[in-house]
Amino acid sequence: MLRFLKAAQSEPKLEHLAFYLIELCLVEYEASRCTLQITAAWTPLLCKHARYDVSQIRDCAEMILKVQKVARVGRLKVTYEKYMRPDLSGVAAIKPLERLPL
């Protein structure tokens, strides 16, 4: 993830959001099917670095969005509460997308 964030020249808030979503998915069994072999990014630069395109990550991206939508009300709220902290940019408060723009 750090490699892709560096390639994207990301801001700290984007980095915090990326790690928030990763931590949410660590406890989700469904996320285990998303491995490095099928994970990628959707900007041309990151696609170049990852060697994947949008069609190859669509299912995993939809699963991540679903996990983000229930994070606030789910059984395991520790990650949500952690990423509400100001030192982590409060990224848990970012409203999830209604649907992916893919």
Complete DSSP assignment for 35-98: -TTT---SSHHHHHHHT--GGGTHHHHHHHHHHHHHTTTSS--HHHHHTTSGGGTTGGGSPPPS
- Count the neighbouring beta carbons within 10 Å of the beta carbon of residue 58: 13
- Count the neighbouring beta carbons within 10 Å of the beta carbon of residue 7: 15
**Domains identified in the chain, total number:** 1
Burial of 68 per CB tally in 10 Å (0-12, 13-18, 19+): buried
What's the domain range around 42?
2-91
Per the domain annotation, does 100 fall within a domain? no
Per the domain annotation, does 96 fall within a domain? no
Per the domain annotation, does 26 fall within a domain? yes
Per the domain annotation, does 34 fall within a domain? yes
pLDDT digits (tens, 9 = 90+) for 12-70: 999 999 999 999 988 887 777 776 444 444 567 766 776 667 777 888 899 999 999 99
Quote the pTM value.
0.75
Output the domain CATH number for residue 38.
1.10.472.10
Per the domain annotation, does 98 fall within a domain? no
